[in-house]
Amino acid sequence: MKIYNTFTRQKEDFVPLEEGKVSMYVCGMTVYDYCHLGHARVMVSFDVITRYLRARGWDVNYVRNITDIDDKILIRAKENGEAYTDLTERFIQCMYEDEKNLGVLRPDQEPRATGHINEIIAMVETLVEKDCAYAVDNGDVYYRVAGFEPYGKLSGKNPEELKAGARIDVGESKEDPRDFALWKGVADTDNEAYWDSPWGPGRPGWHIECSAMSTCCLGNTFDIHGGGPDLPFPHHENEIAQSEAATGQQYARYWMHAGAVRVDNEKMSKSLGNFFTIREILEKYHPEVVRFLLIDSHYRSHINYSEENLQIARGALDRFYTSLRGLEPVAVLPLVELDQQNSFVRQFVDAMDDDFNTSKAMAVLFELVRELNTVRQSEQGDSDTVTDLQQVLLSLADVFGLLQQDPEAYLQSGSAGDLSAEAIEEKIAERDQAKADKNYARADEIREELKNKGVILEDSREGTTWKRE
């Protein structure tokens, strides 16, 4: 298996620290608002990666943190006139709902920043003792960037150029404009969240939270560190600097970053009015359709979110379910129990072993659907072959967390169209009657009406079935 390592900017053979086991930390959400489409991309990408690693037989310890203390959280809570703990708890529960709807499995460990304050303070103390950090009079503690020679290696940033382009804000007492806060002193202890520390009352900086939580859960060195496309700089760059200075060991061995989500080929932002929360999208589209869209592209590539692309994803997923319609249920097998010499299985594994190339792996599923349809439509179609293809399709799709619904229930759910299932069936019944009355013009009109609404009719000796375009 090969993984693209952001740090080395190339694909590398994946060799975990401990044979048969994988330790992975992914930066999670700062919980002050509903999760948006960019969050969904990271959630689903690393969910698929975790599922596949496990499907290949590895014992995965997947850790994804929750940032539940942050300036954004405190500002939002103040605006709402509520305790910041009430705000974070509410949005954590909303995050869990979004994850469940998208079929995202919960991580093995989900540390919260406020649950690791002692570890955070201990790491800051170590950095101060090693002269890698320094405290100032107001209780702030800063990391000394100039003392970490590899700074900038992950993101490709030039430290001297960073220094030239940086500035020190009013009220800051940094030695160097590149230095970043490990601990933020709090003066107004009556109105601000704080914890006691050797430097006075304060709260942690964002970057040190992840360093403390990841090393606490996985040790000083672990296999994979992942996150969104906006995190290599400064967040992950700073994590490396403070973690390796504190422990004297390599922090993470492989760095993985999901690609950005664009909306109609523009960057998603509230200012452009193209910002969508997960729950807003799921009001219009079936969760598996959204999941399909997010998986159909390689995790490192940009995704263009648009109504057109969602319609394409919906049509593709409908074709998958339609190919399974009317078949008796079969057992979904773990990947390791499938025939590894089966060409579809082999191609799927080859694609996923190549840096989790879900796009190529999805193409294998499309080929499976075509083969299944061909065999089913053949008058000499062998039932055992149909069952074998059905089982392979469902088992491989299960690695993606797809095809989890009963085909009939999904296709009748009205997930992709203005017409309800009942309305469609009524139209089909009307068309059947028109054909019985030899009113073929009316029968053709009904077929066209449904086609214009995205519903395709398929006639066979067993009757008429329908699918969404």
Summarised one tens digit per residue, pLDDT across range 74-129 is 999 999 999 999 999 999 999 999 999 999 999 999 999 999 999 999 999 999 99
| Cα dihedral 443, 447, 449, 455 in deg (nearest 10) | 150
Q: In whole angstroms, what is the distance from residue 146 CA to residue 40 CA?
A: 36
Within-domain flag for 332: yes
**Domain check: are 30 and 177 in the same one?**
yes
- Do 328 and 449 lie in one domain? The reply is no
Mean pLDDT in residue range 25-45: 96
Q: Write out the two tokens for 358.
A: 């879900």
Looking at the structure, do residues 363 and 335 belong to the same domain, yes or no? Answer: yes
Comparison of pLDDT for 270 and 200, the residue scoring more: 200
Q: What's 389's domain CATH number?
A: 1.20.120.640
Residue 421, pLDDT score: 65
In contact, 207 and 239? CB cutoff 8 Å: yes
Q: Can you tell me the distance from the alpha carbon of 93 to that of 56, in angstroms, rounded to the nearest whole number?
A: 31
The model's pLDDT over 372-386, given as tens digits with 9 standing for 90+, comes to 999 998 866 678 999
Q: Is 205 domain-assigned? A: yes
- What pLDDT is stored for residue 461 in this prediction? 73
Is 299 contained in some domain? no
CB half-sphere exposure, 204, CA atoms < 13 A: 25
The yes-or-no verdict on residue 185 having pLDDT over 90 is yes
With cut-offs at 50, 70 and 90, classify the pLDDT of residue 417. Answer: very low
Evaluate whether residue 429 is within a structural domain: yes
* 193 neighbors 59 (Cβ within 8 angstroms): no
Query: Could you give the CA distance from residue 39 to residue 34 in angstroms, rounded to a whole number?
Result: 10
Q: Residue 147: what pLDDT?
A: 95
Flag whether 302 is in a domain: no
pLDDT number for residue 380: 64
Structure-token pair, residue 126: 């170590």
Please list the residues that pair with 224 across neighbouring strands: 24, 254
In the β-sheet with 59-64, what is the strand arrangement from edge to edge? Answer: 59-64, 21-26, 222-227, 252-257
Residue 8 has a CB neighbour count (10 Å cut-off) of 12
CA 92: distance to chain centroid? Answer: 16
Do 315 and 226 lie in one domain? The reply is: no
pLDDT of residue 86: 98
Name, of 88-97, 404-413, 450-459, the range with top average pLDDT: 88-97
Domain match, 347 and 224 both: no
> For 132-136, 145-149, 283-287, which range has the lowest pLDDT when averaged over its residues?
283-287
**Coil/strand/helix, residue 59:** strand
In this structure, are 123 and 184 located in the same domain?
Answer: yes
374 in the same domain as 255: no
Listed range (78-87, 227-236, 366-375, 409-418) with the worst mean pLDDT: 409-418
**Residue 93 CB burial class (10 angstroms; 0-12, 13-18, ≥19):** exposed
Peptide bond into 234 cis (omega under 30): yes
Determine phi and psi for 143, rounding to 5 degrees. Answer: -80, 140
Burial call 377-404: b when 16+ CB within 10 Å, e when fewer:
eeeeeeeeebebbbebbbbbbbbbbbbe
Q: Which of 3-7, 174-178, 310-314, 418-422 has the lowest mean pLDDT?
A: 418-422
Q: Give the pLDDT band of residue 206 (cuts 50, 70, 90).
A: very high
Give the mean model confidence (pLDDT) for residues 397-405.
97
Containing domain of residue 124, as a range? Answer: 2-261
Residue 286: Cβ within 10 Å count: 20
Q: What is the pLDDT of residue 416?
A: 41
Considering the domain architecture, whether residues 223 and 364 belong to the same structural domain is answered as no
Q: Which residue has the higher pLDDT, 419 or 67?
A: 67
Residue 401 pLDDT > 90, yes or no? yes
Residue 275 lies in a domain: no
Query: Which pLDDT score is estimated for 377?
Result: 86
Q: Which of 269-283, 287-301, 378-392 has the highest mean pLDDT?
A: 287-301
Q: Are 150 and 184 in contact (CB under 8 A)?
A: no
Do 214 and 250 contact (CB within 8 A), yes or no? no
* Whether residue 159 is found in the same domain as residue 136: yes
Task: Find the mean pLDDT for residues 291-298.
Answer: 96
> Closest Cα to residue 15, out of 25, 5, 2?
2
Domain check: are 256 and 313 in the same one? Answer: no
pLDDT of residue 378: 82
Q: In whole numbers, what is the pLDDT of the chain averaged over residues?
A: 92
In a domain, 149, yes or no: yes
Strand duo 303-305 + 261-263: pairing: parallel
**CATH assignment at residue 103:** 3.40.50.620
Asked which of 226, 261, 296 is the last residue of a domain, the reply is 261
Confidence tier at 456 by pLDDT (50, 70, 90) = confident
Q: State the total domains in the chain.
A: 3
Residue 297 maps to a domain? no
pLDDT band with cut points at 50, 70 and 90 for residue 455: confident
Examine the pLDDT at 366 and tell me if it is beyond 60.
Answer: yes
Query: 391 and 437 in one domain?
Result: no
**Contact by Cβ (8 Å): 294, 101:** no
Amino acid identity for residue 150 in this structure: P
Please tell me whether residues 343 and 367 are part of one structural domain. Answer: yes
What three-state secondary structure class fits 25? strand
- Chain mean position to CA 385: 35
pTM for the whole structure: 0.87
Q: Could you give the percent of the chain with pLDDT greater than 90?
A: 76
